[in-house]
A and B are shown apart, each in its own frame.
Chain A
Amino acid sequence: MDRVKDLASKSAAVIFTKSTCCMCHSIKALFYDLGASPAVYEVDHDADMEWALRRLGRNPAFPAVFVGGKYVGSAKDVISLHVDGTLKQKLIEAKAIWF
């Protein structure tokens, strides 16, 4: 979990993915489309990180999205926040984007 937190705080937008997860591809695409350049970490070969992220409670656990170092959630959360404008707000605050 420490490693997760460490990586999550290093960049404004962080997405933890698994290579087999196609939804991760969608969320990555959304972030790119918003102008954010998220740091993407594939956790296929890191069982500890994977387990730590699964413990955050979302199902499916991936993609696991952090903005401004804080856990946002999985795809469902990202879509909710995106639709009501909150996601963009958070990205601006974290300086991932400027408008």
Chain B
Amino acid sequence: MGSKSFKVAGKVYTSVADSMPSFIANSNGAEGNTGQSSRVSNVGPHEQSIGFRGGAYNSTSLINQTMHPDLQFSSYEKFDVDPSNPFMASGSNDKQKDKFPEQKTQRRLAQNREAARKSRLRKKAYVQQLENSRLKLTQLEQEVQRARKQGVVISNTGDQSQPNSGNGSLAFVAEYSRWLEEQSKHTSELRAAVTSHKSDSELRSLVENATTHFNDIFRLKKIAAKADVFHIIYGMWTSPAERCFLWIGGFRSSELLKLLVSHLEPLTEQQLASIDHLQQTSLQAEEALSQGMDALQQSLADTLARDAPVVPPGSSGMANYMGQMAMAMGKLGSLENFLRQADHLREKTLQQLHTILTTRQSARALLAINDYFSRLRALSTLWLARPQE
């Protein structure tokens, strides 16, 4: 068993159970060094181990006087006896015990109390730390859940107990990567065809395929938005640099047209005028949709701010609250329609552009669009990998 040390009269004694003289060890046998808490009720055997035999001095009463009944001792507080201290030895010097032992015992008991107190404080601190860690863990778990719902991919590290992490968002992230891969294949084909000056008819079918594939993304977004409109409309699926230019879940056709003009030269006067007109048209529609979104935001805020801050008690208050929530839910639902119309505008604008351009110009337009977005994605990658202080 362990060794315990205690201070008596300025000297530190270490009692080592095993080396105790037999007469003490015997009397200690019952509970010495078992590490149990000793209470006042266990005083009986201690009486013997301390060696106060009879006489005027009764260790029980001493213990009762000096210690609170519900003090819990650590294993320190055994009345172990150090054989090297004659005053502690059993059966000796009754008279001397009357004066010195009282002091020494008192001191020892005080030290025991102190040690017990410190032990309790340490335990309390430890438990508090555990509680804090538990709370932190719960918070972190919640954050991960929330992030997953938004489509951020966080690896599970072997945890299989996540049934619906991310819903459709994760599925869309996968679909989008696949779309990007396909997109780059179409782009390479198109680029090869343009540089090798293939015939218009060959180019046309490539352009048609590439356009069809490009439009696929709008279909995928529409499906994903049913599961999680916020993920799509706020561009969580796009790269950070793309998100810079985000407008209702994607790019602004008017901006794209502006960029393309320089890549499509030479253009006829007619073409230039048509593209310019198309750009204005698209901008008009974009602004109309933006105004609708603003109205939605305002309406949502108004709905939720109504009857704030206190919901009156009783059933009518609750009915109001539920009504408010129902209306707000309806508003959020219309976000899906805004996304759909924004994507419809993008698709239609590009479709209209192709009617203005020749086949070769269309091919170059598709390449230019793809290059532009590739650069944005590359920029995002660089940005995310940048060294941070």
Contacts and interface: CB of A to CB of B under 8 A. Distances in A.
Contacts of B109: none
Interface of A: 20-27, 29-30, 33-34, 60, 75-76, 79-80, 82-85
Given A22-B299, A76-B341, A83 B282 contact: yes
B293 interface: yes
Decide if the interface of chain A is mainly helix, strand, loop or mixed.
helix
A23 B147 CA distance: 30
Nearest to A81: B348
Interface string B291-330: 1110110010000000000000000000000000001001
Contacts of B327: 20
A16 to B, nearest CB: 16
Nearest to B353: A83
Given A29-B292, A30-B284, A23 B341 contact: yes
Nearest to A30: B288
A75 B337 contact: yes
B149 interface: no
A84 B285 CA distance: 12
Contact of A79 (B278, B296, B330, B345): B345
Contact of A23 (B278, B285, B337, B349): B337
Contacts of A83: 278, 281-282, 285, 345, 348-349, 351-352
Contacts of B348: 79-80, 83-84
Summarize B's interface: helix, strand, loop or mixed.
helix
Interface in B138-174: none
A84 B355 CA distance: 10
B288 A26 contact: yes
Contact of B288 (A33, A76, A85): A33
A33 B288 CA distance: 8
B304 to A, nearest CB: 15
B289 A26 contact: yes
Contacts of A23: 292, 334, 337-338, 341
Given A23-B334, A23-B341, A60-B337, A79 B285 contact: yes
B91 to A, nearest CB: 97
14 contacts: A20-B330, A25-B295, A26-B341, A33-B287, A75-B337, A76-B344, A79-B344, A79-B348, A82-B284, A83-B282, A83-B349, A83-B351, A83-B352, A84-B352
Nearest to B338: A23
A29 B334 contact: no
Indicate the member of A22, A25, A80, A82 with the most B CB atoms within 10 Å: A22
B273 to A, nearest CB: 13
Contacts of B341: 23, 26, 75-76, 79
Contacts of A30: 284-285, 288
Contacts of A60: 337
